[in-house]
A and B are shown apart, each in its own frame.
Chain A
Amino acid sequence: MQSLKKSPLNEVHINLGAKMVPFAGWLMPIQYSGIIDEHLTVREKAGLFDLTHMGEIIVTGPRAEEYVQKLITNNTAKLADGKAFYTVICFETGGIVDDVIVYRFKKDEYMFVVNASNADKVFAWFRKKLIPEVKLIDKSPKTALLAVQGPASEKILLNVGLNVGSLNYFEFTRQTYRGIECIIARTGYTGEDGFEIFFPVDYAFSLWATLNTAGKKYGLKPVGLGARDTLRIEVGYPLYGNEIDEKTNPVEAGLSWVVDMEKDFIGKESLKQYAGGKTARRLIGFRTIERAVPRAHYDIFSGGNKVGYVTSGTLSPSLDRGIGMGYVPAEMSEAGSHIDISIRGKMVKAEIVKKPFYTGGSIKRDKIS
């Protein structure tokens, strides 16, 4: 077995009593105080996440914009310096290479934040599609990523002297903080207001300690990957490997909002067949009628027939109800329809509902430009 990569904060997590688990080739904390406690802390106060496993790829050069435009389904015309957006990267087949956030530093310089599980694959894909006058730099090994998420996030960052008050949702700034070159973005994966801070790995310990100490009086706690998953499920965000993968297209996954069919990009020809949202299956959100715990890979039934499967599921800590996502035939995907989830051999009734499941988050959606 290939040895696991360790975060520079590995010792810190262990000393905090974290349970460490292998995740995408890394040894990362799955929980500290407990998934439910950490989850509710992020919803009510703030959580501190070590996300150093995420990959960062820099794309620079005179033809960078043209290159990025070709790789992604979203349109770079929507970006400006200091702005970021969510997008997917497709194969020619329309299947998804990865879902990423693209940050524009300048017209000829971008940063892609990619899933740890896909980092090598994405970099190889970028190299394969490389054009002259564009340079790729894999910054992952030298970049740490901490996230502060939750309604108290802004107060905590301002308290330690990070200058983030003027940032809107999906905007970022580059600033030097106590000698540390940071990229601070108002982005996240929790449905709450919050920030992601990219900086050189050597400073991981000091920045973690600063945030964790200053955050205490605002109720901040360290949060692991377990709660990161339940938080993102509650707001219906897809996870690569669950809702989307190489055999999934962005239209059936409900991601048409990041696909611009008016521009040219890899995979566009294949996606044309789904014009108007015509796919055989659709990703749905569902809520169990009684208290139950749906999980990935459980079968979905309708009228006694197997019609689909669950991609992610959990007992929602905020709603105290089983929630999940899954694929069903498009004609059965209407909100309000009833389905059954086969949970350990028993049929549990569920209702198809619109995502997000949890709508009380602190994200300043009105600030989306």
Chain B
Amino acid sequence: MSIPEELKYTVSHEWIKVKDNIGTVGITDYAQDKLGDVVFVELPKVGAELEANSEVAVIESVKTAADVYTPLSGKIVKVNTLLDKDPSFINSDPYNKGWIFEIQIKDVSELEKLMDSTVYQNKISED
């Protein structure tokens, strides 16, 4: 199960990569494996302002529908429209082509509440 070191993680299995003031968010390899074949992604609206941990997107696999939560508060500035055409990038490339949205971070200190790769690894091995 791939867990890149440079990313931060949530208990609800999102990852976030921060550069300058922008966070790129997707779901982890572990999460996509649990969901199975992803067939539909309901993307957030660009411009939406959200509090940390609020529902931001929905991923539908053949088996189930799962909410995606934003790890940080902020404003959605970009969404991965590639997923409209091919939602399976969430399965095949969860940390790159499978990214879901970019958020302009409101409060960088919220990052401290997230897990690093080691803590996340420990968390999923308990599941």
Report if A62 contacts B (CB, 8 A): no
Q: Compute how far the CA of A37 lies from the CA of B58 in the bound complex, rounded to whole angstroms.
A: 23
Q: Is the CB of B63 within 8 A of A293?
A: no
Q: Known: A315-B60, A344-B58. Is A35-B37 also a contact (CB below 8 A)?
A: yes
Report if B76 contacts A (CB, 8 A): no
Q: Is the CB of B65 within 8 A of A35?
A: no
Report if A226 contacts B (CB, 8 A): yes
Contact residues of A between 211 and 265, Cβ < 8 Å to B: 226, 230
Q: Compute how far the CA of A31 lies from the CA of B91 in the bound complex, rounded to whole angstroms.
A: 15
Nearest neighbor of A230 in chain B, beta-carbon distance = B62
Report if B40 contacts A (CB, 8 A): yes
Q: Is the CB of A31 within 8 A of B36?
A: yes
Q: A-facing mask of B11-41, CB < 8 A → 1, else 0?
A: 0000000000000000000000000110110
Nearest neighbor of B62 in chain A, beta-carbon distance = A35
Q: Is the CB of B58 within 8 A of A35?
A: no
Provide the residues of chain B in CB contact with A35, threshold 8 Å.
Answer: 36-37, 62-63
Report if A314 contacts B (CB, 8 A): yes
Provide the residues of chain A in CB contact with B40, threshold 8 Å.
Answer: 291-293, 315
Q: Compute how far the CA of A235 lies from the CA of B37 in the bound complex, rounded to whole angstroms.
A: 21
Q: Is the CB of B37 within 8 A of A34?
A: yes
Residues of A in contact (CB 8 Å), total 17
Provide the residues of chain B in CB contact with A344, threshold 8 Å.
Answer: 58, 65
Report if A36 contacts B (CB, 8 A): yes
Q: A-facing mask of B37-72, CB < 8 A → 1, else 0?
A: 101100000000000000000101011010000000
Q: Compute how far the CA of A291 lies from the CA of B63 in the bound complex, rounded to whole angstroms.
A: 16
Picked from B36, B58, B91, the residue with its CB within 8 Å of the CB of A226 is: B36
Picked from A19, A30, A31, A293, the residue with its CB within 8 Å of the CB of B39 is: A293
User: 26 interchain pairs (CB within 8 A)?
Assistant: A19-B36, A30-B63, A31-B36, A34-B36, A34-B91, A35-B36, A35-B37, A35-B62, A35-B63, A36-B39, A36-B62, A37-B37, A226-B36, A226-B63, A230-B62, A291-B40, A293-B39, A293-B60, A293-B65, A295-B65, A314-B62, A315-B39, A315-B40, A315-B60, A315-B62, A344-B58
For the complex with contacts A34-B36, A293-B65, 19 further pairs of A-B residues with Cβ separation under 8 Å are A30-B63, A31-B36, A35-B36, A35-B62, A35-B63, A36-B62, A226-B62, A226-B63, A230-B62, A291-B40, A293-B39, A293-B40, A293-B60, A295-B65, A314-B62, A315-B39, A315-B40, A317-B62, A344-B65
Interface residues of B (CB under 8 A from A): 36-37, 39-40, 58, 60, 62-63, 65, 91
